[in-house]
Amino acid sequence: MKHVIDSTDLTVEEIDGILKLAQDIIDDKEAYSEACKGKKLATLFFEPSTRTRLSFESAMMELGGNVLGFSSADSSSATKGESVGDTTRVVSCYADIIAMRHPKEGAPMRASMVSGVPIINAGDGGHNHPTQTLTDLLTILREKGRLDNFTIGLCGDLKFGRTVHSLIKALSRYENIKFILIAPKELRVPEYIISEVLEAKNIPYEEVESMEEVMSELDVLYMTRVQKERFFNEADYVRLKDTYILDGKKLKNAKSDLAILHPLPRVNEISVEIDDDPRACYFRQVMNGKFVRMALMLTLLKANGAKLNLSADKLAKIPE
């Protein structure tokens, strides 16, 4: 049984295949509109979400399948004390594939150990968010035309931001990427990412506190929100939440083809005055998220032996 729990559960070849398939879906949506006829996706969200849950559900509907699930732990039997393992065993009797978000790091991994159907991690605590990473990679590829040879600045809450951790792991496998990590000292990237990913692979990186001083070097700027829900202390959140606010003035020295990404939701960290700048990619990024989740679900369903309702030439486009 193939699951996606961490962004490195997929090889670079598999990721490239999924991104290529997503692009084919974008170019030829009609051909995929019945691909998952008779299939069901369960979305088990123990933590709030707008984009991830709704894009998964929309993705399955656009593939001709159906969806079921819950959007908060309060509306599930978790409130009666049911374990993640038991919930997963039960739901895998009802659905062909499961997307799970959970505040506890490792919960989707636990689910994958007992599930009879593929599990996709839709975000676990401050740990990982692999489908956001696929979304980010597809966005960089579509905006820049490549996934290698660029400098990326990651800015904001790099400590608790699971999208940042997943993206660094994924991009570290492509050629000639330089990381500039822009964060106050309290919100720096966790030490294990520095030592086990960047230093272990000899990947160039810098840690800085000022966005302005590095802006002119960046090809991609990945903004993130300060993750209020992961703070133990309200006063620390209030002190750090507005450390970075990207506005027109801060973009003065930026490259004309800079790509500005944000996994969203945004709070204050990008001024709305940037939204109409052609370099602002974050709403296009949202759309890419739906297509890449369609591609991922097709890939996992095929890998796990499901019969898909597709022509032979489209079936051949799904990565093995």
Contacts of 85 (CB under 8 A, 6+ apart): 110, 111, 113, 114
Q: Determine contact, residues 117/3, Cβ cutoff 8 Å.
A: no
Sign of CA dihedral 43, 48, 52, 55: positive
- Rounded to the nearest whole angstrom, what is the least distance from the CB of residue 51 to ligand CP in the complex? 4
Does 3 belong to an annotated binding site?
A: no
Burial of 204 (0-12, 13-18, 19+ CB in 10 A): exposed
Contacts of 147 (CB under 8 A, 6+ apart): 137, 140, 141, 171, 174
Q: How many CB atoms are located within 10 Å of the residue 181 CB?
A: 23
- Give the per-residue contact string, 159-198, with ligand CP (x = CB under 6 A; - = no): ----------------------------------------
CA distance 43 to 58: 11
- Rounded to the nearest whole angstrom, what is the least distance from the CB of residue 131 to ligand CP in the complex? 8
* 263 lines the binding site for ligand CP (CB under 6 A): yes
Contacts of 315 (CB under 8 A, 6+ apart): 302, 308
CB closer to ligand CP out of 60 and 308: 60
The residue with tokens 């949202």 is 286
Does 132 belong to an annotated binding site?
A: yes
The residue with tokens 């559960």 is 9
- Give the per-residue contact string, 199-238, with ligand CP (x = CB under 6 A; - = no): ----------------------------------------
CB closer to ligand CP out of 53 and 302: 53
- Rounded to the nearest whole angstrom, what is the least distance from the CB of residue 122 to ligand CP in the complex? 7
CB closer to ligand CP out of 37 and 266: 266
Does 264 belong to an annotated binding site?
A: yes
Return the active site residues.
51-52, 80, 101, 129
CB closer to ligand CP out of 101 and 302: 101
- Rounded to the nearest whole angstrom, what is the least distance from the CB of residue 285 to ligand CP in the complex? 9
Contacts of 170 (CB under 8 A, 6+ apart): 7, 8, 15, 133, 136, 137
* 69 lines the binding site for ligand CP (CB under 6 A): no
Structure tokens at 13: 């070849």
3-state secondary structure of 155: strand
* 132 lines the binding site for ligand CP (CB under 6 A): yes
Does 265 belong to an annotated binding site?
A: yes
* 138 lines the binding site for ligand CP (CB under 6 A): no
- Give the per-residue contact string, 37-66, with ligand CP (x = CB under 6 A; - = no): ------------xxxx--------------
Does 51 belong to an annotated binding site?
A: yes
Site residues (vs ligand CP, CB under 6 A): 49-52, 123, 132, 263-265
Give the residue ranges of the annotated binding site for L-aspartate: 80, 162, 225
Question: Which residues carry a binding-site annotation?
Answer: 51-52, 80, 101, 129, 132, 162, 225, 264-265
